[in-house]
Structure 1
Amino acid sequence: MSAADRRNNRRTVAAYEGYARGYAAAVSSTPSEPAAEDLRRFAAALAPPARVLEIGSGPGWDADFLETLGAQVRRTDVTAAFVQFQIERGKQAYPFDLLTDEIDATYDGILMLYVVQHFERDQLDGVLSKLARGLSANGAMLLSHMLGEGEEWEGDAGDYRVVRWSAAAMDERLQRAGFAVEWESFIDSEQRPWRSVFARRR
């Protein structure tokens, strides 16, 4: 993948580097009840002791909650400031760039919330195929995406790339990568419709 292919993603990551601690302070350290229910259903679908790879862990609040449910979470993020924030919290967190790095183990589950919108459309097939390869047979993934159509830049400086997907288009890409969608849920956050998808590797 060339530097030009990654330019928009690099711009978004750079914006998160400057805002990571502000983001951690602004986002509740406990999930909303709908988000918590998604995590409970996800954890319940994995055979214990489940090994979960979290991509885009951010400040680590979802990993904290998932660990209370018995999962063993490997926390990763492409943003160095988020990794450092978690280390300062006493957690183990690792740098990982899903666009360029390979998943070097297999996991029972993969958690990737509020990340997909930062990838371009022509990057998604490669991303989803890589995630499928990182799952054990019958492994499962909980993924969220912003519903809608089109692409845009958000944030005060217009540095956060947002690519929206319809439910049908996302499910078609998931199936193409070897996933079977089992359930979905919806959260409307600040007039932004989000859809979470639980999909199992076929």
Structure 2
Amino acid sequence: MTDERTINAYTNKVAEYLKIPLPPEQLEARQAFADAVGAGGYVLDLGSGPGSDSGFLMRQGLKVRALDATPAFVEHARENGVDAYLGTFDDVTETAEYDGVYASFSLLHAPRADFQRHLNTIHRALKPGGQLFLGMKLGTGEHRDDLDRFYSYYTEAEIEDALNKAGFTIDRAVHGMGKGLAGSYDGYILVFAHA
């Protein structure tokens, strides 16, 4: 499922999105993911946005495939040298292909009913022992924000349960609070796990 209202909200805010500073926890997490995968590793940046994280991971010596459902984001990423493709979570069909999957605040746009299926797919796409980084906002239910973007919220226990069911081993989790594109401050969790 692709939510056109969410894609439209991002399409209209590419420039603003690029100006959002990442909180220290997210900067550290991005580096920790790159270090865990290791130089030369092949990663999928799932829901890559305009490709900022992809670019960072490439500078760390990783080979990156970026996937996003917003054409304007894919175009921006490609213009900046990222191997970016237009697609949704359902376009992840690989088996044991990636050394890492970087899903930074992307799966929260998928309906709750699809979350487990997407995690199962990610697990299948990873090589044994492959690294997963998952950034999610904490909360409950499904809502639209002030920009009309669709969000699914989870508790930490729900996220851990879904990861375990998909076959992941959780290595650690970091909590934070950040201001997003809509201007609201939201609690979030950054989870490191491996297949």
TM-score normalised by length of structure 1: 0.86
CA-to-aligned-CA distance 1:116-166 (integer Å, 9 cap, x gap): 22111111011111101110011110011101112211124xx20111100
Amino acid at match of 1:58: G
Answer yes or no: is 1:104 the counterpart of 2:94.
Answer: yes
Q: Please state whether the residue corresponding to 2:192 is helix, strand or coil.
A: strand
Q: Look up the SS of the partner of 1:15 in the other structure.
A: helix
Distance in 1 (CA, whole Å) between partners of 2:133 and 2:166 is: 15
Show structure 2 runs of 5+ residues with no match: 180-184
Distance change in 2, residues 1:102/1:116 (3 Å) = closer
Tell me the alpha carbon deviations over residues 24-76 of structure 1, each in whole angstroms, 9 at most, x when there is no partner.
Answer: 2x324xx4432121122212222441111001111211122222222211122
Structure 1, unaligned runs of 5 or more? 1-5
Q: Contact between 1:21 and 1:85, CA under 8 Å: does it hold in 2?
A: no
> Hey, what does 1:73 align to over in structure 2?
64
1:178 is paired with a residue of what secondary structure? coil
Residues 1:168 and 2:157 are matched in the alignment: yes
1-side partners of 2:59 and 2:38: how far apart? Answer: 15
Aligned to 1:152: 143
Q: Which amino acid aligns with 1:16?
A: Y
In 1: Cα distance, 2:146 partner to 2:51 partner: 22
| Offset from partner CA, 1:64-118 (integer Å, 9 cap, x none) | 22222222111221111101112222333111211x3233361000001011221
Hey, what does 1:49 align to over in structure 2? 40
Q: Matched residue of 2:48: which SS?
A: coil
1:180 aligns with 2:174: no
Structure 1's consecutive aligned runs of 4 or more residues displaced over 4 angstroms after TM superposition are none
Residues paired across the two proteins, number? 189
1:45 is paired with a residue of what secondary structure?
Answer: helix
> How do residues 109-128 of structure 1 correspond to structure 2 at under 5 angstroms?
109-128=100-119
CA distance in 2, matches of 1:97, 1:79: 9
Q: 1:163 is matched by which residue type in structure 2?
A: S
